[in-house]
Chains A and B, each alone.
Chain A
Amino acid sequence: MNVEQSSLSFWNHKFDEVWIDPDVAESDISKRFIEFFPEKVKIASYKSQQGVMSPLQFDQSKRKVHLTRFKGSFFKKCPGHTKGMACCNYFVLNLGFQCDMNCSYCYLQSFINSDALTVYTNGTDAFQELDTYFQQNPKTRVRVGTGELIDSLSLDPLTLYSRSLIRYFKDRPQWKLEFKTKSAFVDQFINEPHIGNVIVSWSLNPQNIVSSEEHGTASLHDRLDAALKCKEHGFPVAFHIDPMIWHENWKSNYQQLVQEICERFQPQDVAHLSMGAIRFQPEQKSFMRERFGMDSLITQAELFKGRDGKMRYDAELRKEMFKFLRNQFLNISDSWKIFLCMETPETWLESTGSHPYKQESIKDMFQSAPSIKAKKFEKPSVHPS
């Protein structure tokens, strides 16, 4: 048993059903789920309902796990690369989709169209895709993240994907892997030998935002403690202060957050810091309003359609927020590597003083990388709704 007995009730509380397709029942991941959820596992072909979901169905999809084989492409360019936005050339490796946590602003609410939290068991196929790209582009420095459609680590004590990923990247020193999480689960991989190219990153917000908007996630304190543990074991860490959320005392709360980070970490410990402000597809608004009412700072927010069609704060306000947060870090040290996520070149210029391509500390991240050749007969299981 890889999951500690002490956390049994935590996991059992999370899921109502675990469906395992018969053809993957013998996989390592399936065996662990069978061992851990003996009374909830059903080994049978699960026909997931596809299409637009109601808020209730979306809630239920978080409580139903489906282990299956993925026949599409695991490895993709980050979809944040949209018209008019400065792109940091991030690649994503999707080993599942949907999340067991429940952030009010989560973009999966306008994306997920399947009624189960899906975990792919054929990770070896994902590695083959990485191999192909690696062979075609041996000198390209690529950053790969696993936290786009599913949290990188919140289910990792069950899947243990982190271990095989760390082992894979150990042989590819010019590539970087990033786990992105709002959980505090690091013990399962912390003793895994690595070469320092696996970045463990946390999406952070002040504790009042964690409490009001990031339901079911680890507290700020627990996330920072987990990050410290990673640092002590030689893993580079990174922080994404994203999405920043405007609220009455936003300045003092974000200032406090910066202090908490800087008390524990030096710039050299942190691979990068990213900032972003709340953004989502317009269609998502009603969905969030139905799920969280108007008590949420997200549904209350004053948002307008941005150049990319997403709902965003007023551009001036965003610049003010980014500038404020960036200055908080730079007042402590000018060595922090800070970048903006999914923002316009204008916002970059006015918030940071220059375009990302011209900033010494981060310009490498913004060099374009070769695209990925699509698999033939790809059958995606999710698409933007």
Chain B
Amino acid sequence: MDKHKLSLENDSKALSYGLRGKALSLFSLSWKGHWITPAKEHFQEVGDQPLMTVLEEVFKNLDLVDTCRLWQNCCEIGFDQEVPKKQFFKIFGFPINPRTESLPEVFIKLSDECLQWIRKRRFSFGDFVPILSLTSTEDISRLLKPLSQCDLSRSEGRKALDLLVDLKMMNREVPTASNKIEWMQQLEMNRFPNTQKRDEVKEQLYDSLPKYGNYRGVRQGDQWSHSLTVQFSEHADGVKKLKALVDKMETLNP
């Protein structure tokens, strides 16, 4: 690929990521006199190649966030006419479909904090499908803030996002993010109050059981079960404790 330096005085439509205050890993690139990436000190002119070839060769390993930004720049200078959106994102390894095609535009409006989190956790478009149920981009930015604040993992983020969208659309209280574990529990309590109540009723059993046991309810998907831990020092002690526990349970639930 031929690379020629161009001057910043060129009448290109300079597009600056800096204006949006977003840190980028992209380096400067100009194509046929149009800046595709921020023009700083070092830049390259690669105008004699088809744009898609250039982008593919130069930006081999873009993450999702940078791919969206690059797409936005291409759109602003009209390059989306030359490269179909679907093809563009497919080349960079982030395929879009009719379901997710509006997400790049949503992403580039998110706060830096959110974008850093999305980048760090290597999210895909599919992970953000729940936000398509919302209508306002303002809602989306605000909604995602606690997810990035808590620095949730990808799987936690997916789960929390779905719960958050539900709560938002049900006009239910969205808890304030503090401790990650407590926040996730609070999300579930607010989203599944009836199930929560039923589970709590079952846990009342523990009040009647011997105090030497450690009891808790465990939910795994659609199944709920009791978990108990009994510590004992020697065999006879164990037999005694377990027998007392069984006897008690039989009187409670014969």
Chain A residues within CB distance 8 Å of chain B: 51-54, 57, 285-286, 289-290, 293-294, 299-300, 302-307, 312-318
In contact, A53 and B99 (Cβ under 8 angstroms) = yes
Q: Does B222 count as interface, using CB distance less than 8 angstroms? A: yes
Nearest A residue to B129 via CB reads: A286
Contact status of A290 and B222, CB under 8 A, knowing A54-B99, A302-B195 = no
Is A53 a contact of B222 with CB atoms below 8 Å? no
Q: Which residues of B contact A314 (CB under 8 A)?
A: 195, 198, 222, 224
Given A286-B130, A302-B194: A315 and B169 interface contact (C-beta under 8 Å): no
Q: Is the CB of B222 within 8 A of A289?
A: no
Whether the pair A53, B170 counts as a contact (CB closer than 8 A) is no
Say whether chain B's binding surface is mostly helix, strand, loop, or mixed: helix
Interface status of B42 (Cβ within 8 A of chain A):
no
| Chain A residues, CB < 8 A from B165 | 289
Q: How far is the CA of A312 from the CA of B221 in the complex (A)?
A: 9
How many residues does chain B have at the interface if contact means C-beta atoms less than 8 Å apart?
24
Q: Mark B182-204, 1 if CB is under 8 A from A, else 0.
A: 00000000011111001000000
Q: How far is the CA of A305 from the CA of B198 in the complex (A)?
A: 18
Q: Is B136 close to A, CB under 8 A?
A: no
Q: Is B223 an interface residue (CB 8 A)?
A: yes
Q: Name the A residues within 8 Å of B130 (CB-CB).
A: 286, 289
Query: Across the interface, which residues of A come within 8 angstroms of B222, CB to CB?
Result: 303-307, 312-315, 318
What residues of chain B lie closer than 8 Å to A52, measured between beta carbons? 97-99
* 10 smallest beta-carbon distances between A and B, as pairs: A52-B97, A54-B98, A305-B221, A304-B222, A294-B169, A289-B133, A302-B192, A306-B222, A286-B129, A302-B195
Pull 11 A–B residue pairs with CB atoms less than 8 Å apart, ordered by A. Answer: A52-B99, A53-B99, A286-B132, A289-B165, A300-B170, A313-B222, A314-B198, A315-B224, A316-B224, A317-B195, A318-B222
Interface residues of B (CB under 8 A from A): 97-99, 101, 129-130, 132-133, 162, 165-166, 169-170, 191-195, 198, 219, 221-224
Evaluate contact between A290 and B132: CB separation under 8 angstroms. Answer: yes
A317 and B202 CA atoms in complex are apart in Å by 13
Which chain B residues border A304 with CB–CB below 8 Å?
A: 195, 219, 221-222
- With a cutoff of 8 Å between Cβ atoms, the chain A residues found around residue B133 in the complex are 286, 289-290, 293
Known: A286-B133, A302-B191. A317 touches B221 (CB 8 A): no
Bound CA–CA A285/B161 (angstroms): 13
Cα separation A299 to B222 with both chains bound (whole Å): 16
Bound together, the chains give a CA A51 to CA B98 distance in angstroms of 9
Further 4 A-B residue pairs, CB within 8 A, beyond A57-B98, A315-B222: A51-B98, A52-B99, A293-B133, A302-B191
Residues on A with C-beta less than 8 A from B194 are: 302
A147 CA to B134 CA, complexed, in Å: 34
B residues in contact with A293, CB < 8 Å = 133, 169
Q: Which residues of A contact B223 (CB under 8 A)?
A: 307, 315
CB proximity of B45 to chain A, nearest CB, Å? 38
The answer to whether B221 and A294 touch across the interface, beta carbons within 8 angstroms, is no
Hey, which chain B residues are within 8 Å of A303, CB to CB? 222
